[in-house]
Structure 1
Amino acid sequence: MKILLKNCRCFHYSPTPVTSVVHIEITDRTITNIFDTLPANFSSYDRTHDFTGLEVFPGSIDPHVHLSYVQGNKAVSADSFNTGSLAAIAGGTTTVMDFVEPCGTAVETIQKRVNTAKSEKCFVDYAFHFSIANVQQINLIEQAAKIERSFKIYTVYNGLKIDAAADLHSVLSEISKHKCIAMIHCENDQVIAQNIPKVKSIEEMSTVRPTWNELEATTRVLTLAELTNCSIHIAHVSLADQVRIINVYKNRYNHGKVTCEITGHHFILNNGLYKTHAHKEDLVMSPPLQSEKDVLELQQLLREGQIDYTCSDHCPFTRRQRNGDFAPFQAEETKVERKFYEMPGGTNGIQVRFIATYSTLKSANCSLEQISKQTSENVAERFQLPLKGRIQVGFDADLVVVNPYLDTIFSENVRKERMDCSLFNDMKFSGKIEKVFVRGKEFGVDQLEEGSYLRKLL
């Protein structure tokens, strides 16, 4: 199958980086030509599209999702690899990075997760972050580093946390030894544990997780990363001052070895919802939502390029899961008395992330180059995702076509995420996704092929 996409305004490599209007040729799953002028034989293509007036971006890459994710050995996130991948594509995301939790050797652990993605028919390509839940698992790093490029560390949550300085130093040293990346969820577990008994409602979230809780943990892990010369990525920043601290370390040591990400809910929503939202259980997540002032400052930091890319941290749970049985959807509703900190935590965003990022950046007249990099290219380069993140000959034909003159209303009518609720319902974003191509297949027209694991198992 040969397809020609005419009159694409995009940031691309041909071979040098440039933004212009070009014509893109796709052969099967690959970008095979980028023409400055329309080829004479354009009528011979199997299919042609004219995208005059539209903008074309590389398929968005979400570096932080939790599909079919078992939280605390109880609740399973509501979106499987199948439903989550279809929601991702609908929202312009064509590659995701999920997580593996150790259950045997590193190879066995990763193979099990790949098997899950395959059995559930994941339609996007994927890679993983390998979680290290305690210092005893340090022996898994050497083998896992031969397959994956990054390791997830939590400084919070019983059963997952590595927060003692000596243990963090040991784990970061081993990750650094293998020239991999430590991706860290930064919160102070002791602060949270002491504060939880003091509160009765999620409305008091700022008491449970005060802002300095994240700032302290972020500074601590960045200092240890500098001492161990470890490449580090701070997950889901939620505070403007947190980003400023990260940028101090970016400038202090080894440029390119410190990055950070932000979720759609942290640069769109604010903590006023803890008082006004009708269903407080929808707000169980960490880090928590922050002040409107922080949200506005984070949007500006994103526009200034001080936040490297956006993610969704997509880990949705239904209201029934929060308030009843842990299974995603039950035939009969079961109601239990469960405090908010006993509920499974996480929210949606895999479908809304790209258009929310696009809208936020376009509102400040950011370039197509910047939008392409913060939604796709920076992730592909940071985590070494082959043939992803660019509009370039030889790269996968993952493309998102956006109409900049229309708006998107994120509503029940368009939502593909397997949820019974969404914090983004009825929100309006600038821009409307017109078409998505996944490895050369047009979403909604062609039969999609199942996605592939982007690494090679040993």
Structure 2
Amino acid sequence: MANQFDKVIKGMLVLENEVVYGEIGIKDGKIKEIHKGEAGLTGETYLDFSNQYVFPGMIDVHVHCFSNTQEGFTTTSRAAAVGGITTFMDMPYDVPNPISNVEIFKEKAKKIENKAVVDIGLWATVSKYNGTDQIIPLAEAGAMAFKMSTFETDEHRFPRIPDPEIIKTMEILKETGLRAAFHSENDEIIYQMIEEYQKEGKVYPAAHMETRPPVTETSAVLKLLEFSYWTGGKLHIVHVSHPRTVELIQLFKKFGVDVSLETCYPYLLLDVSALDEFGPKAKNNPPLRKPEEVNGLWEQLHAGNIDLISSDHAPWPKEVKETGNDNIFKASSGMPGVEIMVPLMFNSTVAKGILTPVQFAKLMAIHPSEVFQIPSKGKIEMDYDADFTIIDPNETFIIDETKLQSNAKLSPFHGQKGKGKVVQTIVRGKTVYDGNEITVEPGFGKFVAGSAMREEALVVHK
């Protein structure tokens, strides 16, 4: 009898609303059969994950491959594979030029097809001034969403977009169906506070948090919510660090605003004490918050008010971080995360009975796919890509910063142990990580185009 499928997977299948013991038949990289229980499906390859969870392939919507020149698609996508991430979205703040015009975008998309080992979608951005004419061409070229900032990190690469440009961008993006996403911090308050702190010699690690109090996040978010209300454009708030922000977003949803939000794993798993303990290693923007604020974020997660969790993978080399050892303001912000987020979050939720596997899948795969309209990704469903993250709930892991795929061999999670090891990562039916090593060459990964590429989704801009 001829094999029905290229590959058959058996295990504890985490479907959209239930976990079932069953089998999945895969052909040509797609899910072609989902069977509850023993089905006797036959395939050229048969993978038995009997006591392990077969999750839909995890999606990380917030990754920085090119914020420094040492990383890139190969290194980051290898890290993603080891971390159980089958698809990620790469941010547009590349060195030396941001992805704010269609030529640069197309060049970057081509690189994926040569360099990546998992699938990758791309964010685009707009220039500080007079860049909105590129929005429609970028959407048509396959941008998944547009990222902007209310905080100026770099005038050219990572600028603060003026309010009139934000409103214009939201109005144009409304026609494409794509989301406008924001790094939301009030830089007028922050820069003045940093200046005052430096004058007074207050440059200790926790000063990073003290100069970015919650109001610097909530005031920026409130403005964006109001812009979204008046333009009708879709909004997404990245790396939410404070429960008050979530409350404001819930309020504006009642006003009819189409707004989604993410938090990042460090905001749930660390608090400001990590800045004292680890210094620049634990510096990110927005900063880590007080323990009671972290608890508030968990409460919002349990209430179902947080759509998804991302890594904000920002891999700075050790020497760049260490410049802040004597003055926290000198260190770059961000930490590597695409490789360690899934096991750390599984250990902190499913392994402890805090979330069900289905709830975990929603935060890490289903919702990311829905919020950003990622075609054929994020669910175990017929004719979807055969992307799976296999987690053994009984196998332990230890985070070892010296063994990270990233060139940034540093993490405040170094030495942490947990339950829930990623034992296999499968992209379009092919194992890209077998629990020990990467099993495909760069170039296996594909560029995943955004939803505006699909003709029915794009209203032609008049």
Range class of TM-score, shorter chain: 0.7 to 0.9
Q: What per-residue deviation string (whole Å, max 9, x for no partner) do you get for residues 341-388 of structure 1?
A: 344322111011112232333234423221111101111122121111
Q: Corresponding residue for 2:460?
A: none
Residue range with higher mean Cα deviation, 338-347 or 177-186: 338-347
d(CA) in 1 for partners of 2:74 and 2:344? Answer: 23
Does the CA-based 8 Å contact 2:425-2:432 persist in structure 1?
yes
Q: Corresponding residue for 2:8?
A: 4
Does the CA-based 8 Å contact 1:409-1:429 persist in structure 2?
yes
Q: Corresponding residue for 1:306?
A: 305
Residue range with higher mean Cα deviation, 290-299 or 445-454: 445-454
Q: Secondary structure at the match of 1:46?
A: strand
Q: After superposition, where does 1:326-405 map in structure 2 within 5 Å? A: 340-362=328-350, 363-405=352-394
d(CA) in 2 for partners of 1:420 and 1:60? Answer: 23
Question: Over the residues paired in the alignment, what is the CA RMSD in angstroms?
Answer: 2.5
Shift of residue 413, structure 1, vs aligned partner: 6.5
Q: Corresponding residue for 1:137?
A: 131
Does the CA-based 8 Å contact 1:162-1:168 persist in structure 2?
no
Q: Corresponding residue for 1:56?
A: 54
Q: Indicate whether 1:207 and 2:210 are aligned.
A: yes
Q: Indicate whether 1:320 and 2:324 are aligned.
A: no
Q: Corresponding residue for 2:229?
A: 226
Q: Percent identity?
A: 24
Amino acid at match of 1:192: I
Amino acid at match of 1:273: A
Shift of residue 18, structure 1, vs aligned partner: 4.1
Shift of residue 415, structure 1, vs aligned partner: 3.0
d(CA) in 2 for partners of 1:438 and 1:261? Answer: 24
Q: Indicate whether 1:87 and 2:87 are aligned.
A: no
Does the CA-based 8 Å contact 1:323-1:337 persist in structure 2?
yes
Shift of residue 299, structure 1, vs aligned partner: 2.3
Q: What per-residue deviation string (whole Å, max 9, x for no partner) do you get for residues 371-418 of structure 1?
A: 111101111122121111011121111111112223322124653332
Does the CA-based 8 Å contact 2:265-2:310 persist in structure 1?
yes
Aligned residues: 430
Q: After superposition, where does 1:87-236 map in structure 2 within 5 Å? A: 87-100=79-92, 106-119=101-114, 121-146=115-140, 147-157=142-152, 158-159=154-155, 160-162=158-160, 164-199=162-197, 200=201, 201=203, 202-236=205-239
Q: Corresponding residue for 1:411?
A: 400
Shift of residue 268, structure 1, vs aligned partner: 0.7
d(CA) in 1 for partners of 2:176 and 2:6? Answer: 42
Shift of residue 224, structure 1, vs aligned partner: 1.1
Structure 1: runs of 5 or more not aligned: 70-74, 325-335
Q: Secondary structure at the match of 1:395?
A: coil
Does the CA-based 8 Å contact 2:117-2:444 persist in structure 1?
yes
d(CA) in 1 for partners of 2:167 and 2:433? Answer: 48
Does the CA-based 8 Å contact 1:133-1:162 persist in structure 2?
no
Shift of residue 207, structure 1, vs aligned partner: 3.0
d(CA) in 1 for partners of 2:325 and 2:8? Answer: 57
Amino acid at match of 2:35: F
Shift of residue 41, structure 1, vs aligned partner: 5.9
Q: Corresponding residue for 1:27?
A: 27
d(CA) in 1 for partners of 2:277 and 2:19? Answer: 43
Q: After superposition, where does 1:437-456 map in structure 2 within 5 Å? A: 437-444=426-433, 446-448=439-441, 450-455=444-449
Does the CA-based 8 Å contact 1:100-1:109 persist in structure 2?
no
Does the CA-based 8 Å contact 1:31-1:394 persist in structure 2?
yes
Q: Corresponding residue for 1:239?
A: 242
d(CA) in 1 for partners of 2:249 and 2:431? Answer: 39
Does the CA-based 8 Å contact 2:208-2:328 persist in structure 1?
no
Does the CA-based 8 Å contact 1:401-1:433 persist in structure 2?
yes
Alpha-carbon distance change, 124 to 361 in structure 1, aligned in 2, over 3 angstroms: same
Alpha-carbon distance change, 191 to 382 in structure 1, aligned in 2, over 3 angstroms: same
Alpha-carbon distance change, 447 to 143 in structure 1, aligned in 2, over 3 angstroms: closer
Q: Indicate whether 1:297 and 2:288 are aligned.
A: no
Structure 2: runs of 5 or more not aligned: 455-462
Q: Secondary structure at the match of 1:94?
A: strand
Q: Secondary structure at the match of 1:315?
A: coil
Q: What per-residue deviation string (whole Å, max 9, x for no partner) do you get for residues 65-89 of structure 1?
A: 00022xxxxx43x432111111111
Q: Corresponding residue for 1:38?
A: 38
Aligned partner (choices 407, 412, 417) of residue 428 of structure 1? 417
d(CA) in 2 for partners of 1:40 and 1:323? Answer: 56
Residue range with higher mean Cα deviation, 237-246 or 446-455: 446-455
Q: Secondary structure at the match of 1:52?
A: strand
Does the CA-based 8 Å contact 2:14-2:380 persist in structure 1?
yes
Q: Secondary structure at the match of 1:191?
A: helix
Normalised to the residue count of structure 2, the TM-score between the two structures is 0.86
Normalised to the residue count of structure 1, the TM-score between the two structures is 0.87
Q: What per-residue deviation string (whole Å, max 9, x for no partner) do you get for residues 233-278 of structure 1?
A: 0000001111111111122214xx211001111111111122222x
Q: What per-residue deviation string (whole Å, max 9, x for no partner) do you get for residues 110-160 of structure 1?
A: 1122234345x1111111111123131111112222232411110011414
